[in-house]
Amino acid sequence: MDAAALIADRMGLIDSSGIRKVFDLAKSLENPINLSIGQPDFDVPEPVKARAIQAIKSGLNKYTVTQGIQELRDEVLRSEKEATGVRHDAVLITSGVAGATMLAFMALVNPGDRVAIPDPYFVMYKHLCRLMGGVPIYVDTYPDFRLTVQRLEEAGAGGAKLLVANSPCNPTGVVLTEDELRRVADWAERNGVFVVNDEIYRAFCYDGEFASIASMTDDVLLLNGFSKTSAMTGWRLGYAIGPERIIEEMKKLQQFSFVCAPSIAQYGALAAVGVSPDDHVRAYKAKRDLVYEGLRGKFELEKPLGAFYAFVRAPEGDGDAFCRKAVEHNLLIIPGSVFSERNSHFRLSFAAEDSVIRAGIEVLCSLA
């Protein structure tokens, strides 16, 4: 039997992640200058490791309840109420924010539903929307990458069922202000648009205070996790907080898909909630400054205010061609077309050793 004939039609609606393709390419290069990877270059905090090891040795290795252990849900809710002022009390522990996003799209998006996605965007949003039969409505935010009501209106987003928000943003590093978020929240309420709000990079804000749209409206699902602040990328642990009815539907889906988030990671995260990332945030602010000061004389870029990425306009406006040229010089960066309907930029990650960042800047400036 022809295996290709067995593949479901929906698989034609998505493509392999361009980021993963770069990761695969990295394996073929000898000691590449790698500014492509979106994960912290520091290790999991020792108290988190110790708590997880203790759980393993204590025999806490079995399934947990689908929604996650009560202790962690209580700690997550307490922490989020304090940090964001989220109005809801229903919590679901998930297999990463990626798992939470998939469950949210499965629970909320019908075929034909319109989903407003600010462009540039994290790669998953577009593909999950299409996989569920939804229709992406791209909200062009170039050149400064700010999400405004005017841009939402110009994109026709008022007819959308969902708006996906991400601040601090991957790939642009933009952090929306309290005023900007309040205007978006008011617009969403007026238009009956529900907000799916991804705050996985919340701790990484370098200039000014962080604000959360989750404190401004009831019509929001808040997503966050432990991958970035605690470097637990491989532990696959996130969570969703939102209206009880939506959380219950997501829990039902998790029961028949992921079953539960990894048990050992949940117990380890009980320690992670209390570990401050401030030292790492200060270090990453210095890395941000290193990148920005090193590139701004040669490239057009907005100064990243959060996360750990810079979204840089490629010379001659061809990000794909520029990234291919960078690979020829042993430098790995991600084409902007992975994150956007445009092909004018590239993304680099400054979650790397300072020496690697400096080597990458030197190559980029030579290519410019």
Q: What's the pLDDT score for residue 23?
A: 60
**Is the domain of 173 the same as that of 101?**
yes
- pLDDT tens, position by position, 225-267: 999 999 999 999 999 999 999 999 999 999 999 999 999 999 9
Q: Which residue has the higher pLDDT, 9 or 350?
A: 350
Please state, in angstroms and as integers, the Cα–Cα distance from residue 312 to each residue in 43, 145, 205, 208, 309, following that order: 28, 12, 19, 22, 9
Decide if pLDDT at 22 tops 80: no
Task: Band the pLDDT of 189: cuts 50, 70, 90.
Answer: very high
Which alpha helices (H) appear in 117-226, and where do they start and end? 123-131, 149-154, 178-191
Instruction: Output the six-digit token pair for 327.
Output: 């690979």
C-alpha closest to that of 293 among 336, 337, 354? 354
Q: Where are any strands of DSSP class E within 52-149?
A: 90-94, 114-119, 135-140
**CB distance 250 to 107 below 8 Å:** yes
Task: Band the pLDDT of 17: cuts 50, 70, 90.
Answer: low
Looking at the DSSP bridge assignments, the partners of residue 91 are 241
Q: What's the pLDDT score for residue 360?
A: 98
The residue assigned the tokens 């648009």 is 193
**Is the domain of 235 the same as that of 214?**
yes
Separation of alpha carbons 194 and 190, rounded Å: 11
Domain region containing 294: 3-43+277-367
Domain boundary among 220, 248, 272: 272
Decide if pLDDT at 26 tops 70: no
- pLDDT tens, position by position, 134-186: 999 999 999 999 999 999 999 999 999 999 999 999 999 999 999 999 999 99
Query: What CATH number does residue 282 fall under?
Result: 3.90.1150.10
**Is the domain of 291 the same as that of 351?**
yes
**Is the domain of 71 the same as that of 103?**
yes
Please state, in angstroms and as integers, the Cα–Cα distance from residue 210 to each residue in 178, 217, 358, following that order: 8, 16, 29
C-alpha closest to that of 203 among 172, 168, 231, 177? 168
Question: What is the strand order of the sheet 135-140 is part of?
Answer: 90-94, 238-242, 220-225, 194-198, 162-166, 114-119, 135-140
Separation of alpha carbons 122 and 285, rounded Å: 21
Query: What CATH number does residue 246 fall under?
Result: 3.40.640.10
Give the global pTM: 0.94
**Is the domain of 259 the same as that of 166?**
yes
Q: At what angle do helices 278-295 and 354-367 cross, to 10 degrees?
A: 20
